[in-house]
Amino acid sequence: MISATELTKLYGDFTAVRGVSFHAAPGEILGLVGPNGAGKTTTLRCLAGIISPTSGTIAVAGHDMRDDAIAAKRALAFIPDEPHLFDYLSVEEHLRFIARLYGVHDVETRLPAMLDELELSERRRSLPGELSRGMRQKLAIACGLLHDPSALLLDEPLTGLDPAGIRRMRETIVARAERGTAVILSSHLLNLVEELCTKLFVLRQGECVAFGTMDEIIATHPDLAGLSLEDVFLSLTSEGTEGAGA
Amino acid sequence: MNALLYLSWTSARNRFVSAFRRVQSPRYAAALLVGGVYIWSLLFRTPNRGAAASFLLGRPSEALITLLMVLTLMGSWVFGADVTALAFTQAEVSMLFAAPLTRRQLVGLKLFRAQIAVLINALIWVFVLRRGGPYLPSPLRALSLWIMFSTLNLHRLGAALVQSAWRQHGGVGVRKNRWSIAIFGAIGVLILSGLAINRDRLIHAGGIGEFFVNLSNTLLESPAAVGLWPFHLIVAPTFAKTIPGWERAILPAMLMLLIHTWWVLRTDAAFEDAAIEASAERARRIEAIRSRRAWGMPSKPRKASSSLRLGTVGPPAVAIVWKNMLCLRRTVQLRLFVGPLAMALAFGAAVSSAGGDTASFIATSSVTFAGILLIFGSRLVRNDLRHDMLHLPLLKALPVSSGDIVLAEVASSALPMAFVQIVLVMIAYVAIVLSSHSPLDSRLRDAILVASPFAALALNGALITIQNGMAVLFPAWMRLGTGVSTGVEALGQNVLAMVAHFATLGLSLLPPMLVGWTVALALHQPRPTTIAVATIVGAVVLAIETFGAIRFLGRALGRVEPLQS
């Protein structure tokens, strides 16, 4: 559903991501983890078609991001850590805007349900400037989920959400995956990653140091057996560790 | 090193270093050069500076400036001090207010920081007044101006501190600052007494010039002169005409500066609440100034009280036009059009005054207004890529091709502008038909009416495309969003962008004009028909050119990455 092959991204002389390959099948939740500056956001932005990879290929729902970008983008949703919203569109107008862009014909049915689900019904006429940080994040999530994407890219999706919102978001991610959506989740919250993700993709300095299920990662790194995810993460991302994909 | 000195020093050093690094880039260096030349030509190359300086440094000016200073400062006491005098940056509020620092240290930081603005103001005025006749050498004038501006700044800060104490401590604050209040109360009484004594002279002045002469004489006589005396001490060195005169004036002025410094540093008022409020107020004011300067884009949109309907099916790019129309509806300010409208009405009145015909006045004003909007419209309405480039990550994630995005963005600004201009031409047409002194024969005005929609659409499309093209191709050279960059290089960038805009427009108009002219020569038709057909053909050629440019810009937008913008 989402696949990247030999993905490389250079910014001038700086290599942000170097030759990484991974895939997330329908129903899978892939946890994208790594220390600050590892290249997680660059990877997600490449997958979302916001920036072009220097080399390598990306495919979303069978559509190549370079050759058939529109179809690939129509199949996915990218929810960034910082909600990017238009200052002059209300909550409801944001959703109508997205509906038109993504060709959601039954918006009149989906819109109230989405507003209810994310507790935005009472703020449907509010502009982003009138919303709290958490509410803006919920609106960004609603925009991402409205067209029922088959691939979902989440960059720190819980930032700014209240405890109820966090629980609901966790349930939403799981529910979407159960309905066949391929999810890539980038987060520093390792307990969240451990709870939700079926596979892990660990980046360090732009390179893949581990990819696969926990069992597969342990199989390629026997010394990590019995450690918590936090210890596994710290071990894999510390200097001097040899990278290996499962 | 003291932490606050360290903060000031490192901030200034880093700002200079980053500015220096930026100037190493050719585009910033060119912009700095152009901006510098522009400022130099504006400030220092203006002829007849001597006459202006002589006027500015005359005795009546001295009295009036002293009065203005007193009124400004007294206004702080009567109507409330300018709270932004206490403003700190958000980082300063969160870090310094929580740090173990005394209020006096924080006030000291404010004073130190203010010296940058004071020095810049003093230097500018030294240059402006440097050819002010046989007056002071520049270093002495600089010192005088520095003392004047520093004292004013201290007074402004002091007033804000005292009023902050009143608000936080009520009667206790008033008692604590009773001497400040008593002194300014006495000054006010003296000035008002002087004005009351000479009221007949002021009321019965035979014109504005005589009024000001009488006013300055009133201020130079007792009792107003007594009240103004402390303030006159502050401005006297600046207005001194000889070096001995300056030497006599400078010591009292320095004494006033020292008294103010002592007063401000001694005022141990609890100003934190007011400072936090002031910091937010300053941020709001800066935003408001930027919004006014960023025409058509107030920072905060009006409430979403009503919407426009958007169908659920159809080309996705239409959604971008819809979004931008909502932006236009919620953010465009009618007052932006007041200036051009007033110019158009004045021109209409001047042209039609001979005939005294209301209809021709309306026609002239409408056509003039349409013309002004055509020329300056692309700066009035900016709800296109010049705004949306700030949302580039969002735009690039949308399932719409880059070419369609550019087309939709250009249409969002070009269509409303063209619509308004077409309506104005139609109003002019109707007015001319009704006018008793129609300057155009009926066939010619019919031809203009038919051709103007084509011309308006093509010209606005081309103008907005050029602006959007610069935003896509040279984002660092364009003002994007509501933010306004400042500084000499920003000024130079604006000048260069404007030159590039008109040069590109001139080049893009060549083919349509050539084709239109050829068509006109080939037609052998009566003049009105020729004009209409040639204009329409020229507009079509321009539209084709613009469409090609939009497709090119679409490909360019596809290559632009957020980090690069």
Give CA separation, B38 vs A84, B42, B166, B192, B294, in Å: 38, 6, 47, 45, 21
Give CA separation, B8 vs B3, B4, B108, B115, in Å: 9, 6, 11, 11
In angstroms, rounded to a whole number, what is the distance separating the alpha carbons of residues B450 and B438?
Answer: 18
In angstroms, rounded to a whole number, what is the distance separating the alpha carbons of residues B326 and A193?
Answer: 40
Q: Any idea which of B191-195, B200-204, B364-368, B471-475 has the lowest mean pLDDT?
A: B200-204
Closest residue in chain A to residue B305, using alpha carbons only: A125
SS3 A58: strand
| Residue of B312, B327, B383, B385 to mutate for A, most A C-beta atoms under 10 A | B312
- Nearest-neighbour CA in chain B from A190: distance (Å): 27
Q: Check: CB of residue B323 under 8 Å from CB of residue A86.
A: yes
Q: How confident is the model at residue B178 (pLDDT cuts 50, 70, 90)?
A: low
- Higher-pLDDT residue of A126 and B359 is A126
Q: Are strands A182-186 and A199-204 parallel, antiparallel or unpaired?
A: unpaired
Q: Check: CB of residue B406 under 8 Å from CB of residue B550.
A: yes
Rounded to two decimals, what is the model's pTM?
0.69
Q: Do B301 and A129 touch (CB under 8 A)?
A: yes
Q: How confident is the model at residue B292 (pLDDT cuts 50, 70, 90)?
A: very low
- Higher-pLDDT residue of B312 and B352 is B312
As a whole number, mean pLDDT of residues B319-348 equals 79
Q: Do B399 and A71 touch (CB under 8 A)?
A: yes
Q: Do A52 and B401 touch (CB under 8 A)?
A: no
Q: Do B400 and A101 touch (CB under 8 A)?
A: yes
Report the candidate in B85, B5, B3 with the shortest Cα–Cα distance to residue B271: B85
Structure tokens, B460 = 């606005």
Q: Please list, in sequence order, all residues whose beta carbon lies within 8 angstroms of the beta carbon of residue B374, skipping any fewer than 6 positions away.
A: B417, B421, B456, B459, B460, B463
Q: Any idea which of A97-106, B105-114, B319-328 has the lowest mean pLDDT?
A: B105-114
Q: C-alpha B451: how far from its chain's center?
A: 37
A44 at interface of B, judged by CB pairs closer than 8 A: no
Q: Do A127 and B301 touch (CB under 8 A)?
A: yes
Q: Any idea which of A43-47, B213-217, B322-326 has the lowest mean pLDDT?
A: B213-217
Q: Check: CB of residue A72 under 8 Å from CB of residue A63.
A: yes
In angstroms, rounded to a whole number, what is the distance separating the alpha carbons of residues A62 and B250?
Answer: 82
Report the candidate in B330, B317, B275 with the shortest Cα–Cα distance to residue B87: B275
A10 at interface of B, judged by CB pairs closer than 8 A: no
Chain B residues with CB under 8 Å of A78 CB are 397
Q: Residue A244 pLDDT more than 50? A: no
Q: Do B304 and A125 touch (CB under 8 A)?
A: yes
Q: Do B304 and A126 touch (CB under 8 A)?
A: yes
Q: Residue B140 pLDDT more than 80? A: yes
The predicted pLDDT at position B299 comes to 46
As a whole number, mean pLDDT of residues B493-513 equals 88
The listed range with the strongest mean pLDDT (B165-169, B335-339, B471-475, B501-505) is B501-505
- B→A contacts (Cβ < 8 Å), by residue, are 300-301, 303-305, 307, 310-314, 316, 318-319, 322-323, 326-327, 330-331, 391-394, 396-401, 559, 561-563
Q: Check: CB of residue A202 under 8 Å from CB of residue A211.
A: yes
User: One-letter amino acid identity for A94?
Assistant: H
The most distant pair of C-alpha atoms in chain B lies apart, rounded to whole Å, by: 92
Structure tokens, B230 = 């402390």
Q: Is A240 exposed, middle or buried (0-12, 13-18, 19+ CB in 10 A)?
A: exposed
Q: Do B400 and A90 touch (CB under 8 A)?
A: no
Of B305, B311, B398, the CB nearest to A101: B398
